[in-house]
Structure 1
Amino acid sequence: MVNHEAAVLDDPVGASLRGHHAHLARRLGRAAGYLPDVATFCAVPADPGPAEWADLARLLGPGQLADLFSRPVTPPPDWEPVFTLEGRRMTWSGTGPSGPAGPDAATGVVELGPESVPEMLDLVERTRPGPFRPRTPELGTYLGVRDDGRLVAMAGERLRPPGWTEISAVCTAPEARGRGHAARLIEALVARVLARGERPFLHVAEANTGAIALYERLGFTTGEYVTFRGFRTPWPHDSRPASM
């Protein structure tokens, strides 16, 4: 597969933290990460050496999750592997979304504000769309669908490398599936992203074939296969808790 995408997507976390999400970043040397309540994603240069790994370990603290997202770098041997997940990056290449650019009474799409965070966290707990923390909604706009006042579906904006916006946290409560909520939410977000002159993209686990098929129907195409990896930062010598 020939990759015609912008090189910035090879490091979407680092590019976001240096730009649109700089106000949500914490840094030490050439290592960076989101604030703990926002996201677990962190970034190091493409050629990290001992100094960069040491800085990231100090930045996150001992025994903490270092979510390297899709960065294909290998930490030192004393960093404990936590997870590995095969996935793909997809970019929108359609001619134009069919949905409105944001909230729309006819489709039931509403914008979710700070007051909706408890409901969003509850929906995430029930559907497990991926990493989501109390301040994750600060990364961008989140839209939802309500049924009798209860939040049953949502999707939002996550990483924001220059010229791009990632669509993420696409989820629907089990009792509300099969009604087209996810498609309407994604179309609304695509329209919103395009309206500000950016291009939508997203990431999906390779095993989630249903989601991949949906995204393809909505105009997304596979741009790159990636591996998501997380590690636990090392504990200082002789300081690892006995329970671990």
Structure 2
Amino acid sequence: MTVDRDVVALDDPVGESLGGHHAHLARRLGRAATYLPGVATFSSVSPDADSAAWADLARLLGRGEFADMFSCPAIPPSDWEAVFVLEGRQMIWPGNSRLDHSRAEPDSGVVELGAGSVAEMLDLVERTRPGPFWPRTIELGTYLGIRENGTLVAMAGERLRPPGWTEISAVSTAPEARGQGHAARLVSALVARIVSRNERPFLHVSEANTGAIALYERLGFETRKQVTFRGFRTP
């Protein structure tokens, strides 16, 4: 486990993103915040949130609405309905580490995806289920893809942006295109971009996804901590 003094922002990556780099994509009420509709469902309260903070979030979202609390350890009041619990881990790029091109995959065939590719991206996400991805999620950062015969078969992109960090997310490959190193190529390309602007990459992965964990470790990522992802529905 890496000990790093520069990772405090990663303890609340959603809140740090909404209060900083993604402030233009945020909605706020009192001590609660969430993303604009269609961008992301992630919401934020402080880890020591009291009943007033949860009431702020309930008013912000509306009745019976979904609150994806990501890795926030705070638990809402008992009248909030639990929707899911998922064990995972947070992995980070080592401090002061440049991309090791001897381990990185070549970025040949990697293209940047824009607004015109959203329909294809949503279709790929529907087929591969890498995690939440919505019509405006592409506004969170840069997304890269790989095409075969003109068809989008793999993609990955940037999501949360706490100070000094960029999260790599939505790593997905169509079933018929797996085993060709597309995920490694895309993650390597994103790492290179993030490191080049003097930020550090990080990511989150389900604990059950052992194949992805092995890939990220091979590319140079290290586990920082185990996390629990939780979602709730407001009263």
Amino acid in structure 2 at the alignment position of 1:126 = R
Task: Provide the TM-score with structure 1 as the length reference.
Answer: 0.91
Per-residue CA deviation, residues 140-189 of structure 1 (Å, 9 max, x unaligned), is 00000000000000000000000000000000000000000000100000
CA contact (8 A) 1:97 1:187 kept: no
Structure 1 outlier segments of 4+, above 2 Å: 1-5
1:50: Cα distance to partner? 1.4
Per-residue CA deviation, residues 183-241 of structure 1 (Å, 9 max, x unaligned), is 0100000000001000000000000000000000000010010000000000xxxxxxx
Task: Provide the TM-score with structure 2 as the length reference.
Answer: 0.95
CA contact (8 A) 1:121 1:133 kept: yes
1:112 aligned to 2:113?
yes
Amino acid in structure 2 at the alignment position of 1:136 = T
Give the Cα–Cα distance (whole angstroms) in 1 for the partners of residues 78 and 37 of structure 2. Answer: 24
Amino acid in structure 1 at the alignment position of 2:157 = G
1:153 aligned to 2:137?
no
1:108: Cα distance to partner? 0.4
Give the Cα–Cα distance (whole angstroms) in 2 for the partners of residues 220 and 24 of structure 1. Answer: 28
Q: Which residue of 2 aligns with 1:49?
A: 50
Q: Which residue of 2 aligns with 1:96?
A: 99
Q: Which residue of 2 aligns with 1:22?
A: 23
Aligned residues: 230
Give the Cα–Cα distance (whole angstroms) in 1 for the partners of residues 8 and 114 of structure 2. Answer: 33
Give the Cα–Cα distance (whole angstroms) in 2 for the partners of residues 220 and 47 of structure 1. Answer: 30
Q: Which residue of 1 aligns with 2:218?
A: 217
Per-residue CA deviation, residues 33-55 of structure 1 (Å, 9 max, x unaligned), is 00120001000012211111111
Structure 1 gap segments, 5+ residues each: 235-244
Matches for 1:155-234 after TM superposition, within 5 Å: 155-234=156-235
Amino acid in structure 2 at the alignment position of 1:98 = H
Q: Relative to 1, partners in 2 of residues 1:63 and 1:208: Cα closer, same or farther, differing over 3 Å?
A: same
Amino acid in structure 2 at the alignment position of 1:183 = A
Matches for 1:65-144 after TM superposition, within 5 Å: 65-93=66-94, 94-98=97-101, 107-144=108-145
Q: Secondary structure at the match of 2:211?
A: helix
Q: Secondary structure at the match of 2:9?
A: helix
Give the Cα–Cα distance (whole angstroms) in 1 for the partners of residues 220 and 123 of structure 2. Answer: 30
Q: Which residue of 1 aligns with 2:63?
A: 62
Structure 2 gap segments, 5+ residues each: none
User: Kindly, what percent of the aligned residue pairs are identical?
Assistant: 73
Give the Cα–Cα distance (whole angstroms) in 1 for the partners of residues 141 and 177 of structure 2. Answer: 24
1:92: Cα distance to partner? 1.3
Give the Cα–Cα distance (whole angstroms) in 2 for the partners of residues 177 and 118 of structure 1. Answer: 21
Give the Cα–Cα distance (whole angstroms) in 2 for the partners of residues 187 and 134 of structure 1. Answer: 25
Q: Which residue of 2 aligns with 1:33?
A: 34
